Amino acid sequence: MDETMLDGNAAAGDLQQLFAVEVTQMVGVCDGCGTSGPLAEVRTFALAPGLTLRCPACDAVLARLVHLPDRTLVELHGFRRLELLS
Amino acid sequence: MPDWPGHRAGQHLDVRLTAEDGYRAQRSYSIASSPQDPMLEITVERLEDGEVSPWLAGDAQAGDELELRGPIGGYFVWAPERGGPLLLIAGGSGLVPLMCIERLRRAAAPEIASTLLISARRPEDLIYAEELRAGSAVVTYTREQPAGWTGYARRVDRDMLAEVAPPAGGRPHCYVCGPTGFVEVVAEALVDLGHHRALIKTERFGATGG
Amino acid sequence: MADRLCEDSRVSPISRGFRRRESGGDDSRLPPGQHLVGGFPVLSAGPTPHTPLDQWTFSLDGMIDEPLRWSWDELRALPAEPIHCDIHCVTSWSKLDTEWEGVSVDTLLEGVETEAASITAWCDGGYTTNLPIEDVTDGKAWVAFTYDGRPLEPEHGGPARLLVPHLYLWKSAKWVRGITLRPDDEPGFWESLGYHPRGDPWQEQRYWGD
């Protein structure tokens, strides 16, 4: 078991800057295997040069985030889609 | 505290410290105080080789400034409207957000039943020990036990949960918080005991306190 | 509950008395912005892979007439050498006087004719990193399998990782399984999201544009 691995709750502070709605409840669909679930339950690897979110079912990279001194770079292309409850 | 919008039980905030030379460090801390409490309280465990916790737990004085981001989280939260009964299972510092939930329940919805199971290494590691004594929390000490201890003395496992947790048929809302390994063992054991995954919420903590 | 979108346009308050960890020791050996650590931090972008040695291979492909491949036993039969070096992570920690053992990339490239200007190292778990070919030749890079006199631990990249100590440690790809020789740069895992194509700690080449 990778004790350094966390979950989407740990990524929420960074991700919240992108979204107008609360992120931990947002549902993500993995583009690799199609599994869906709340972002709170994705695998988060935060002890690194950047943040990596991975699918809890297949470990595919869902998203990455890097804080540079003057900006933050984000890529989300591992999600087939995101679903926001209205 | 100016601009604080209030929080929900279970949420956390990110704390950022800035040194005079511009150097910054950031950590996450769960909010310990009940949403009804006018004072915002976080609980910080001082890590020996830590960078932020020694400042927060040692050097910080009244009037010092730091930056907060939050409150953060909408998944690992509870409010009385969600109902009960509650099953709160904490490993180490994972007790903080669960204590927040328990404090809210006691103050705003005492008629909702809750079961609190806490895993700590040693008696001196148990946070909120005084406050817990007044309640009916079940504690397991995994490394060292107090003199004369007749309670659990091992890591939380399926058998312990079968004895302590309310039956799955009562559909309790389960909140599990602590180190990743702890959370995964407990969550799987709960599923094994018949609790529905949709009723199990998890939050994994790392050694960095977040 | 929304975060303040303009927070970075405000000046952060200084947290009185907070400072970065002391660099300690021999500062002349530390690149700018680095500090010494006692342990060996484990950083990763994904779960630790565990490829059995009887299935493990190392490949050399791309701009090469005949792709090459070594099994674990074949790699271990190649001449290996001790490596004594300082290592520097872009997250600002450094360790001095680390001891490794591995096969030089020059040994792997022996007899290989190529016009490649760049390499991509690729790994179990999907991690990649790119490097100019001059940065992995002439005694600057190894496929390392021993750390501190013991077989390299999985959490530190075992059974084998790339070791390129003159550049930031994200270039020393853990769980390396092959090198692809390329005519041009193919930005790797971190290089595609803000990190410098080369990563020389002495020129503080951490990010794009540095």
* pLDDT, tens only, B41-70: 999 888 877 888 889 988 888 888 889 998
Encode pLDDT of C107-157 as tens digits: 999 999 999 999 999 999 999 999 999 999 999 999 999 999 999 999 999
Residue C30 has pLDDT above 50, yes or no: yes
- Sequential DSSP letters for C48-73: PP---TTT-EEEEEESSSS-EEEEHH
pLDDT classification of B208: cutoffs 50, 70, 90? very low
Contact check, Cβ <8 Å, B180/A13: no
As a whole number, mean pLDDT of residues B155-179 equals 97
| Model pTM score | 0.90
Neighbours of chain B (3+ CB pairs under 8 A): A, C
> What interface predicted TM-score (ipTM) does this complex get?
0.93
Measure in Å the smallest separation between the Cα of B5 and chain A Cα atoms: 15
Count CB pairs under 8 A between chains A and B: 66
Q: Cβ of A27: how many Cβ atoms within 10 Å? A: 15
Contact check, Cβ <8 Å, B73/A12: yes
How far apart CA C137 and CA C143 sit, in angstroms, is: 12
Contact B22, B29 (CB under 8 A): no
Rounded percentage of chain A residues whose pLDDT exceeds 90? 81
C65–chain B Cβ distance below 8 A for any pair: no
Contact C72, C176 (CB under 8 A): no
Contact A18, A74 (CB under 8 A): yes
pLDDT classification of C12: cutoffs 50, 70, 90? confident
**Residue of A23, A61, A67 for testing the chain C interface, max C β-carbons within 10 Å:** A61
Residue B77 has pLDDT above 80, yes or no: yes
